[in-house]
Chains A and B, each alone.
Chain A
Amino acid sequence: MSFKVSRIVNEQGLELEFQGELDMYSIKTLDSCKNDLGNSTNIVINLEKLEFIDSTGIKGLLTFLESLTQQNKSFKVKNIKPEINEVFELLDIYELIGRDMFEL
């Protein structure tokens, strides 16, 4: 299963819907869209259709989130599946990024 990012523009700003599997191969897809986010300052990252992520994918996600901060964009990550949440907890991702950046 490949990985893709769908964009949905609504009243709240830009929603990025992650779909598929995020790993060493597919992080380049995520990396390629970090400088193409337009003028939206509020970004929602929807993980509902993210089927799989490993530690390399998490590293790619963190790099992506860091780039949003550098572009002065605020973000919220939502719809984290239980098995992905468990890995985030194990690796202390919420402490690293800030728990308020995630809709849990």
Chain B
Amino acid sequence: MSTVKNGQADGCASEISAEVLSEIVKRLQEKSGNRVVLCGMDDIKKIICTEGMDKVMDMPINKASDLAEIRKRAREVLEKVVEQGKINKIVLCISELSTNVLMHAKKGIFEMYIGQGKKIIIYASDKGKGINPYILEKALFEKGFSTQNSLGCGMKIVVNYSDKVYIYTGEAGTFIVLEYFVEQCA
């Protein structure tokens, strides 16, 4: 069970009560205009297993030196379907998610899916303790850069640069799906 001090819930995701979590989920969706969705593990799996989505990348995230290789390979794949400006944004989000995996769970998995050149899905997962949704909410919508909260700054970029963000965080770890809709095929 979480505790609430000065309006803040402390503890990791799995320690927060359903009631507090429900309030945070509602606020996150409202404030983001439904672009950020906290959802169940099964929902995440349904999104990445959608018919017509082809897995084009699957790489482990084990160490900081993996980040450059993940970005390089992602660029190579994306150059075939997306214009340069969007590639830069997607690659930045990939770097943010992968860094979060290393910082908060030590290791995880990165995958990318492309659906008929029209939709791109980025998926990062880990088996860490999960994200405190209150910290997530605070980081996403408070103004300013926090040198203390690297998770928050990274997620602020992710939310601003993605068309849709689905997050499962709980006892099984953290699974994040980013969706991008491609307007023009290369």
Interface residues of A (CB under 8 A from B): 1-2, 21, 23-26, 52, 54-56, 58-59, 62-63, 83, 87, 90-93, 95-96
Contact = CB atoms under 8 A, between A and B. Distances in A.
A55 B158 CA distance: 10
Given A1-B68, A1-B72, A83-B85, A54 B96 contact: yes
Contact of B88 (A21, A25, A83): A83
A59 B99 CA distance: 13
B6 interface: no
Contact of B68 (A23, A56, A87, A96): A23
A52 B156 contact: no
Given A56-B150, A58-B153, A87-B92, A92 B144 contact: yes
A58 to B, nearest CB: 7
Interface string B141-179: 001110100100110110010000000000000000000
Interface of B: 64-65, 67-68, 71-72, 85, 88-89, 91-92, 95-96, 99, 102-103, 143-145, 147, 150, 153-154, 156-157, 160
Rank and list the top 9 A-B pairs by shortest CB-CB distance, nearest first: A25-B64, A55-B153, A91-B145, A54-B95, A55-B154, A24-B64, A83-B88, A24-B99, A92-B144
27 contacts: A1-B68, A21-B71, A23-B64, A23-B68, A24-B64, A24-B67, A24-B99, A24-B103, A52-B71, A54-B95, A54-B96, A54-B99, A54-B154, A55-B156, A55-B157, A56-B154, A58-B145, A58-B153, A59-B150, A83-B88, A90-B160, A91-B153, A92-B143, A92-B144, A92-B145, A95-B144, A96-B144
Contact of A23 (B67, B85, B157): B67
Contacts, number: 68
A26 B154 CA distance: 17
Contacts of B96: 54-55
Contacts of B102: 24
B78 to A, nearest CB: 14
Nearest to A21: B68
